[in-house]
Structure 1
Amino acid sequence: MNNKDRFTRTFFLPMLIAGAALLLAACSEPARELPVNTRLGGDFTLTDYNGERFSLSSLNGEVVILFFGYTHCPDICPAVLARVSQVYRNLKEQGEADQVRPVFVTFDPERDTAQHLREYLPWFKADILGLTGELSAIEKVAEQYGVVFIKEDGGNGEADFTHSDYIYLLDQQGRVRKVYPADFNIDEVVADVKTLL
């Protein structure tokens, strides 16, 4: 046996086996469990885009991607809708979307009527459930989730809103498990959703 063979058998081969074992162990480790946020969230009832009363708890058993905004928003809201839609489509392509539901809550009920939401949201091709209702009810839901929105004069006779733009990941029991900024990483959210299914 020459020195090269001796080195291969003595050092390289055991290191290769050990490395493969570590790789297999890493692949088999369960994904990190997302903590439950006990300060935000809770059940609520609003009006869905079919004009029916809708409670968040009716989605128990599904993972919910919840976000707030308004359809006349000039920039942030459509961008967030597009990103959430991409998360849903990625999950659908992977066969993981059956128990996932994006939910959009407007804080502009004057313009975002049930009919308007029903016509607007399908453009994003992501089975997004739109919710509206009395402003007082929406304000209560916003408070539950730490959402801030302030109505302002847009200067063209139309209302604009200054608002927070977080996205909430809810587990199958309706508990907040993670909060993301508007420019969230799509692959991160997809991976997090999978840990809850």
Structure 2
Amino acid sequence: MYEVFVNESPLILTNERPKKAKENLFELDGDSIMQAIGLLSKKKLKKAYLYHPDGDKILKLFMHKIPVIVAGGGLVVNPKGKVLFIKRNGKWDLPKGKVDKGETIESAAIREVEEETGVTGLTIDRFLKTTYHVFKRNGEYRLKQTHWFVMSTAYDGKLVAEKSEGIVKVRWKGPKKIKKALQNSYMNIKILFDDTSLFDQNS
């Protein structure tokens, strides 16, 4: 099962037919996918399911039906256990961006964190999670597949928001401020913090 967010509402890719999901259950074909995305985007459905019997192929088939942009991002932690956040479009987010041609996802994730925040000396500790969301550009729906990594750095210099990318603030946040920031964030960011072992040092 995979969760793809469309305007903050979940589009669930599943190989099991939900028992109570008649009006929001769609087959995995081009027309049905676009219908489901359109209804979620307009908030006419709170949740939708895309069904295909083969769970191993479902994501690959979905990604064949919609243009995909691959991105890398970082959940960056400093020695004090604080996490690096950016503010863009009125919401708190984590730094991320598109993978350039010929670039590894890991390199892209580090580059984007550096460009968007001014933070350097980054080390990737481990892969965290892959998230998915649909957005519209030039009248066409696209899927952003973001690969997230837990990173660490001892950087304690100036934070520099990349204003050309619409970033207005960059902040280190401890547990209480993280909790508050997540109230004004995105579902794909909130689910990254479900791994509470990340913050054992903060408790």
TM-score, structure 2 as length reference:
0.26
Greater fraction helix: 1
TM-score, structure 1 as length reference:
0.27
Task: Tell which structure's C-alpha radius of gyration is larger.
Answer: 1
